[in-house]
Amino acid sequence: MNSNAPGSFLGYSMQVPRALFHLLTGSPGDIVCVEILGDVTSLSSDDHTISEEDKASTDSNPLTDRSINLWKTFYNWINAVNSGEMDIQKTIFILYTNKAGRPGLVNHFDSAVTKEDAQKVITEAKQRLKDINHDHVIWSYYDYVVNKNEILLSEVILKFELQIGSGAGYDEVEQELVRKNIYPKQIPHLINNLAGWLQIELTERIAARKPARIEWDDFDRQIKVLFHRIRCLELIDFTLREAPDKDEIQQQVKVKPRYLKQLDAINLDSDDIIKAVSDFLRAKVNRDKWIENEIIDENVAREFQEKLVSFWANQKKRIEITQKKLNDEDRGHLLFLECSDRQETIRDMNPPVSTIPGTYHALADEPVLGWHRNWENLFQKNKDS
């Protein structure tokens, strides 16, 4: 097994958060590209370029003095300038890494401010690497950069920035969202949505053999929609990304908690039972997440439940009066269907479709209410087993 595989995968994966960062810090008319003139490239409307290479590692510094990552990066930049793909006067060269190591040449490159500084660090590089020869793995890159293009290397160094992040590259994205006054607990959900959208956009373009480039204006439209939802405290359906899996559902069916026994008592079929479990689990996840993220509080959740209980009580009385010919099971089934189809808002917002039936199942599990005419006798806690 290739021990470098996790680091390589992380390196490619990091392009999404880095592209997202450049979009967040961009301006109208900008274009952010992936795998065009670098791992991530930002093209501004005034014809300036940020060319970024991303180097990741899971356990060590990927930018040591003798690393391929370091010298191949400068090789690619200088080669692009020589070929006319980049204008050195209008380009900033960024090397982003998720691991900080012992200070080395790359840090000295970053610190150079004047031509004298640049020349000094080039001389230092020659001294440190004077023992490498044609057999060394970095020789072809080092030779091209230092020996054959020393003057151009000096110019690149003066336009060079080393940026050190951490983890998978999302910390800087989070910081930008904080600057945009997004509430901290909302940020993970927003990042998931933005990163997912960006990943799909890039993948579809690559699959269609189109350049993997995202216009800032398209991104701006997407983020405005998400910002509006969050700032209006929309009842986000967290289960779109955290849906109950088959094992969770089957475990509920196997254990058969009280809310499922209540459904058995009114003869619901197996498909309805599976849907009930899914609704129950989804409603619980969303309720917990809404409270955790301060979209609602316990009082709002309790008020919503009270409205559902009130509707259940009224419907139960109506069915007892109007459906005297139905047996207890069919009355209960009808009551369950009418309650499940109930339209109720939370803070004047429509919740996800699983919320109302799922909340009814939670209430039936306590049990606060039931479906069968004799539910209180059948499912009191001291009788239910």
- Please list, in sequence order, all residues whose beta carbon lies within 8 angstroms of the beta carbon of residue 6, skipping any fewer than 6 positions away: 58
> Does residue 188 have a cis peptide bond before it, meaning omega lies within 30 degrees of 0?
no
Q: How many CB atoms lie within 10 A of CB 314?
A: 10
| Per-residue confidence (pLDDT) for residue 8, from 0 to 100 | 58
| Per-residue confidence (pLDDT) for residue 231, from 0 to 100 | 63
Residues 26 and 178 sit within 8 Å (Cβ to Cβ):
no
In the Cβ-directed half-sphere of 192, how many Cα atoms lie within 13 Å?
Answer: 12
Output the DSSP codes for 232-290: TT----GGGTSPPPHHHHHHHHHH--HHHHHHHTTT--HHHHHHHHHHHHHHHHHHHHH
pLDDT one digit per residue (tens) for the chain, 385 residues: 344 445 456 667 899 999 999 999 999 999 999 999 889 999 999 999 999 999 987 667 789 899 999 999 999 999 999 999 999 999 999 999 988 878 899 999 999 999 999 999 999 999 999 999 899 999 999 999 999 999 999 999 999 999 998 878 899 999 999 888 787 777 888 899 999 999 999 999 999 999 999 999 999 999 988 887 776 667 888 898 778 889 999 999 999 999 999 999 999 999 999 999 999 999 999 999 888 877 888 999 999 999 999 999 999 999 999 999 999 999 999 999 999 999 999 988 889 999 999 999 999 999 999 999 999 999 876 555 4
- Look at the alpha carbons of 250, 344, 290, 14 in this order and tell me if their dihedral is positive or negative: positive
CA distance 374 to 377: 6
What pTM does this model have?
0.63
| Per-residue confidence (pLDDT) for residue 11, from 0 to 100 | 60
Domain limits, the chain = 5-231, 245-379
